[in-house]
Amino acid sequence: MKITKRSLENIAANGREYFVWDEIVTGFGVRVSPRGRKSFIVQYRSGGRTRRMSLGAQGALTPDEARNIAKSILGDVARGTDPAQIRARDRRAANVSELCERFMKEHVALQCKPTTQREYQRCCDLFIRPVLGGFKVQDVTRADVANLHHSLRDKPYQANRVLGVLSKMFNLAELWGLRPDGSNPTRHVHKNRERKRERFLSPEEISALWSVLDKRVRAGEETPQVAGAFKLLLLTGCRLSEIQFLKWTYIRGDVIWLPDAKTGPRRVLLSRAAMAILAQLFQVRVGQYVIAGAIPGEPITDLQRPWRRIRAQAGIADVRIHDLRHTYASIAAMAGHSLPMIGRLLGHTQAQSTARYAHLADATTRAASDTVNNIFESFVDPNMDIGPLIEYRPAS
């Protein structure tokens, strides 16, 4: 029969499921449930199998609309695709929440440091899953990512961290076959502008901080390990995690051997001042960690809270713990050391990470230039008119 609105009204339930096929489009029909509910379907053969797809219920689609959809599907079949298989695959496809879980288990847990693992997990749980978690991985668009990034505009740095995590996740989604190659939806979503902090302690501030650390230890307000941690950060330029989880077995004479730093294994040369601090801590050592915590055998878990107390008393409330590392690098730059040497001291693997100290090194270079200039000035007539500078124009 030709399936029309009127003909459907004449189809009645008979207590079992049966099908009525259209006489115009072969494969287009209506499924009638035992209770008489009608839904449009299309049936075809592909790969030696009979496939049957539901198109929608009567009422949601008119017969003509359903027939046109059936024609389109049958056309795809004629062109060699299997729409039913594609639909089944899409229904089984992972959503973003499942991608987050796989990302954390198969990549982050194996490739990233514990602090990075915690930050990635935080990004997934607080920002990505609540917004995109229910989306199919292959359905996430650039607009979806841009909207999420924009929604965090009051937290611009956090928004950039979330965008970075999403970028890595969708790169892996392509590798795992969950999205087509080159379809990463984070492409062309611009990060917020970040201003690099360049807070360095002056000699007076270093003296005040050192004095406060000693006073608080003598008063019993801080442990020697807490004060020693901040002194070692200043004297070595190490990252917080490198000192916080430093073991006594890593110290070999006047060298700290870090087997698993952020950029891989590296050696930290110890100055006499740093060795003196370590000697003091060795006298009160507890367990395997240099900066021991309250739990026996474990390192200290929180240095941020004592740091807030200490910096407030020292009058440097705007200084972060990481700024102690910047201070070490700034002193090295002002002492005349080259940027590659400063990079080696800090354990940088990329020159751009050390470039922020270039202007400090320029001050030393300028002083050397002025010294040379003073020597040559003795040969120049001070009353000679130098005149305007000659503009250099390269030959065309």
Q: What is the CATH number of the domain that holds 328?
A: 1.10.443.10
Residue 373 domain flag: no
For the chain, helix, strand, coil in percent to 5 are 50, 15, 35
Tell which residue, 7, 60, 48, 49, has the closest CA to residue 29. 7
Residue 390 domain flag: no
Considering the domain architecture, whether residues 164 and 212 belong to the same structural domain is answered as no
Tens digit of each residue's pLDDT (9 = 90 or more) over 85-141: 778 777 777 899 999 999 999 999 998 888 889 999 999 999 999 999 999 999 999
Residue 105 domain flag: yes
Rounded CA separation 66/72 (Å): 10
Confidence category of residue 394, pLDDT binned at 50, 70, 90: low
Residue 188 domain flag: no
For residue 386, pLDDT beyond 50 = no
Structural domain ending residue among the three candidates 91, 109, 138: 91
pLDDT of res. 84: 82
Rounded CA separation 283/18 (Å): 88
Considering the domain architecture, whether residues 293 and 339 belong to the same structural domain is answered as yes
For residue 234, give its domain range: 203-355
Considering the domain architecture, whether residues 254 and 351 belong to the same structural domain is answered as yes
In 14-141, which residue ranges form alpha helices assigned H by DSSP? 63-78, 83-92, 96-103, 109-111, 114-123, 129-132
pLDDT of res. 185: 96
Structural domain ending residue among the three candidates 73, 91, 109: 91
Average per-residue pLDDT in the chain? 84
pLDDT of res. 346: 66
Which of these ranges, 1-5, 81-85, 154-158, 170-174, has the smallest mean pLDDT?
Answer: 81-85
Considering the domain architecture, whether residues 109 and 84 belong to the same structural domain is answered as no
Rounded CA separation 167/292 (Å): 37
In 93-132, which residue ranges form alpha helices assigned H by DSSP? 96-103, 109-111, 114-123, 129-132
Considering the domain architecture, whether residues 275 and 350 belong to the same structural domain is answered as yes
Query: Angle at the Cα of 146 (from 140 to 152), degrees rounded to 5?
Result: 120
Residue 364 domain flag: no
- Cβ contact 168:119 at 8 Å: no
Considering the domain architecture, whether residues 209 and 265 belong to the same structural domain is answered as yes
DSSP per-residue string spanning 159-199: HHHHHHHHHHHHHHHHHTTSS-TT--TTTT-PPPP-PPP--
- Cβ contact 16:34 at 8 Å: yes
pLDDT of res. 376: 47
Tell which residue, 256, 251, 252, 216, has the closest CA to residue 236. 256
Considering the domain architecture, whether residues 61 and 13 belong to the same structural domain is answered as yes
For residue 355, pLDDT beyond 60 = no
Rounded CA separation 247/289 (Å): 4
Rounded CA separation 168/100 (Å): 11
Considering the domain architecture, whether residues 15 and 61 belong to the same structural domain is answered as yes
For residue 175, pLDDT beyond 90 = yes
Total domains in the chain come to 3
Considering the domain architecture, whether residues 48 and 31 belong to the same structural domain is answered as yes
Residue 332 domain flag: yes
Residue 368 domain flag: no
pLDDT of res. 80: 86
Considering the domain architecture, whether residues 227 and 168 belong to the same structural domain is answered as no
- Cβ contact 314:205 at 8 Å: yes
Region of 182 on the Ramachandran plot (φ > 0 left; ψ -120 to 50 alpha; else beta): left
pLDDT of res. 325: 85
For residue 46, pLDDT beyond 70 = yes
For residue 27, pLDDT beyond 70 = yes
pLDDT of res. 390: 44
Q: What is the CATH number of the domain that holds 16?
A: 3.30.160.390
Considering the domain architecture, whether residues 105 and 164 belong to the same structural domain is answered as yes
Confidence category of residue 389, pLDDT binned at 50, 70, 90: very low
Q: What is the pTM of this model?
A: 0.58
Rounded CA separation 243/290 (Å): 8
Structural domain ending residue among the three candidates 42, 63, 91: 91
Residue 360 domain flag: no
Q: What is the CATH number of the domain that holds 156?
A: 1.10.150.130
DSSP per-residue string spanning 287-351: SSBSSB-SSTTSB-S-SHHHHHHHHHHHT-TT--THHHHHHHHHHHHHTT--HHHHHHHHT-SSH
Considering the domain architecture, whether residues 100 and 87 belong to the same structural domain is answered as no
3-class SS of residue 55: strand
